[in-house]
C-alpha cells in the first residue's frame, strides 16, 4: 500500500520478488537510483533480476559481488548494478565510477547493493528498497523515497502496481 512515502509488500517466493520488481520497470528513467539494503541473501540481486528482465535485458543478471559493477545495455534503459560489499574505503568509490552513476545525470538506471556501508556518500535523490526476511522465509520489501524524483517514482509505482499485482501474483505477493 502507498502510505505517505513508504510502500511495503510481502513476497513468499523468489519469483514473487522478481514480479514485484518488474512492476517498477515501466516507471524508471535514466538517472534514477535505487539503493538496495538487506542482509546477505535477502533478495537484492533477485530484485535487480526482476527489473532487468522487465526492461528487456536478455543477459543473465548475476551478482556483482566480485566485479563491483556490472552493466547491461541491451534493455530499454541501460542498467548499472553495483555491489559495494567488498569495498572498504570511501576513496574506492571514485575508482569504480560510483559517483557518476548516482549523480542523477547518468544515461542509465543505477542499482546499488550495500550502499549503506558508505552513509556519507549516499546520493541526494534515491529510492531505498529494504528487504528483510520474515518468518517462514517470507520477504518484506519496503520502499522509501529520499528526494523529489524518488518521491514521484514511488508514488506512481505504488499506485499503479497495486491492481496489476493482485491479478498476476496468484497470492504470492501481499
Ligand atoms: N521471497 C523471496 N524473495 C527473494 N529471494 C528469496 C525469497 N525466498 C527465498 N529467496 C532466496 O534468497 C536468495 C536471495 O539471493 P540474492 O542473491 O538475491 O540476495 P542478496 O540480497 O543479493 O545477497 P548479497 O548481499 O549476498 O548480494 C536466493 O537464493 C533466493 O532463491
Ligand atoms: Mg546481491
Residue 170 domain flag = no
Quote the ligand 1 centre to 41 CA distance (angstroms). 4
Decide which of 82 and 163 is more confident. 82
CATH code of the domain containing 100: 3.40.50.300
For the cut 80, the answer to whether the pLDDT of residue 15 exceeds it is yes
Residue 111 domain flag = yes
For the cut 50, the answer to whether the pLDDT of residue 2 exceeds it is no
For the cut 70, the answer to whether the pLDDT of residue 113 exceeds it is yes
Number of domains comprising the chain = 1
Residue 155 domain flag = yes
Quote the ligand 2 centre to 79 CA distance (angstroms). 15
Pick from 16, 43, 84, 115 the residue to mutate for probing ligand 1's pocket: most ligand atoms within 8 Å of its CB: 43
Instruction: With beta carbons less than 8 A apart as the criterion, state whether 13 and 173 touch.
Output: no
* Predicted model pTM: 0.94
Instruction: With beta carbons less than 8 A apart as the criterion, state whether 56 and 78 touch.
Output: no
pLDDT of 156-172, one tens digit each?
A: 999 877 666 666 656 67
Residue 36 domain flag = yes
Residue 171 domain flag = no
Mean pLDDT calculated for residue range 105-111: 97
Domain that holds residue 122: 2-142+150-163
Banded pLDDT at 51 (limits 50, 70, 90): very high
Residue 70 domain flag = yes
Amino acid at each position: 500500500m502507498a502510505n505517505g512515502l513508504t510502500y511495503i509488500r510481502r513476497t513468499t517466493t523468489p519469483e514473487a520478488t522478481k514480479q514485484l520488481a518488474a512492476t517498477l520497470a515501466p516507471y524508471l528513467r535514466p538517472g534514477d537510483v535505487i539503493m538496495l539494503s538487506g542482509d546477505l541473501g535477502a533478495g537484492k540481486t533477485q530484485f535487480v533480476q526482476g527489473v532487468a528482465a522487465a526492461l528487456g535485458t536478455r543477459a543473465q543478471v548475476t551478482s556483482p559481488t566480485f566485479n563491483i559493477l556490472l552493466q547491461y545495455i541491451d534493455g530499454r534503459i541501460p542498467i548499472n548494478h553495483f555491489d559495494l560489499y567488498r569495498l572498504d574505503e570511501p576513496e574506492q568509490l571514485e575508482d569504480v565510477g560510483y559517483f557518476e552513476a548516482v549523480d542523477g545525470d547518468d544515461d542509465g538506471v543505477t542499482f546499488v547493493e550495500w550502499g549503506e556501508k558508505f552513509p556519507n556518500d549516499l546520493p541526494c535523490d534515491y529510492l531505498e528498497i529494504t528487504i528483510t526476511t520474515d518468518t517462514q522465509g517470507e520477504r518484506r520489501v519496503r520502499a522509501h523515497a529520499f528526494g523529489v524524483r524518488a518521491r514521484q517514482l514511488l508514488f506512481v509505482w505504488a499506485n499503479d502496481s497495486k491492481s496489476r499485482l493482485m491479478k498476476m501474483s496468484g497470492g504470492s505477493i501481499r
